[in-house]
Structure 1
Amino acid sequence: MNSFSHTFTVKASDLDEQGHVNNVTYLQWVQEVAVAHWLEVSSKEIRDKYTWVVTRHEIDYKRQAFEGDEIKARTWVGSRTKVTWDRHTQIRRGEQLLTEARTVWCLIDRLNRRPTRISSAIEGLLS
């Protein structure tokens, strides 16, 4: 499994009125770590030809995070279809699991803006 991690420090702007990280912020982090992973493994040529769009998010909130916490988001790909791929993400503070998510991403051809088959070359980048 080819996983990718990114570390975030919780800022005041990440908090909701209850003083903990807003649920929408977790979702933003899920997307940010996925995009960072794609940028890490893909070439400019591939990114100029293809992009990914989200078709579904499932997210489970386990624990709260607070301003100043250092958290790590780790992502990896799971099962796939011809044009979509499940991406899993865990967000932790130390060993504590804060959030886990499954996102379905669809590969899009930038030229015609339509879903396109995930090639073995792209599979090799993420597997």
Structure 2
Amino acid sequence: MSRDEPLAWDHPDPHILRVSVSDEHIDVMRHTNNVVYLQWLEAVAWSHSQHLGLGPAEYEALGHGMVVRRHELNYIQATRLGEHLSLATWLTQVDRLSTHRCYQFIREDDGQTVFRGSTHFVCVDIAEGRIRRMPPAFFEAYSAAALPPGALKD
């Protein structure tokens, strides 16, 4: 695959963050450590949320935040030092209490999907740490960005 060809995303228009695998990402097995993928999930999710106008400052101001209830992580191929990856995310479902977010990571050099995952987030009151309904700003931003049913390819 040439770098000029588009990457084969599962979503028609995902939010993308580019990263390069560096020394600090590599473990004793000489590939990217699985904990790094979790850090990348967080980075691309925050990047997308901030793109939607909901960053840490807005979370603080509204007194609410989204926290992980469940992750599903599927490591498909190893990634190695020096490789360039495109990390993609999109929202698939939003209700008044939670969001569901999917991820796909593609190695840019050969266009191979190396990772897929998903996260179920719930909204919490930051001061109390209890699950609460999303403030209107959260619900409006996240639901506007969520995929309509049937939008993903099979």
1:31 to 42, 53, 58: 42
Question: Which protein is bigger by CA-based radius of gyration?
Answer: 2
Instruction: Give the Å deviation of 1:43.
Output: 4.7
Displacement, 1:108? 1.5
- Are positions 1:103 and 2:119 aligned together? yes
Matched, 1:15 2:26: yes
Match among 56, 66, 90 for residue 76 of structure 1: 90
Give the TM-score normalised by structure 1: 0.87
- The equivalent residue for 1:91 is 105
Structure 1: how far apart are the matches of 2:68 and 2:95? 14
3-state SS of the aligned residue for 2:24?
helix
Distance 2:70 2:96 in 1: 16
Give the whole-Å Cα distance in 2 for the aligned partners of 1:52 and 1:2: 23
Gaps in structure 2 of 5+ consecutive residues: 1-11, 146-154
Determine the C-alpha separation between the residues in 1 that align with 2:82 and 2:54.
34
- Is 1:46 the counterpart of 2:58? The answer is yes
In 2, Cα distance between equivalents of 1:88 and 1:31? 12
Query: Percent of counterpart pairs with the same letter?
Result: 24
Aligned equivalent of 1:66, options 80, 88, 91: 80
Q: Give the number of aligned pairs.
A: 127
Matched residue type, 1:26: Y
Matches of 1:52 and 1:121 in 2, distance apart? 13
Flag as ranges the 4+ runs of structure 1 deviating above 4 A: none
- Cα distance in 1 for partners of 2:122, 2:85 equals 27
Q: CA RMSD for the aligned pairs?
A: 2.0
Whether 1:124 and 2:140 are equivalent positions in the alignment is yes
Closer, same or farther: CA 3–98 of 1 in aligned 2, 3 Å = same
Q: Is the alpha carbon distance of 1:83 and 1:2 closer, same or farther for their aligned partners in structure 2, counting shifts above 3 Å?
A: farther
2:71 aligned residue: 57
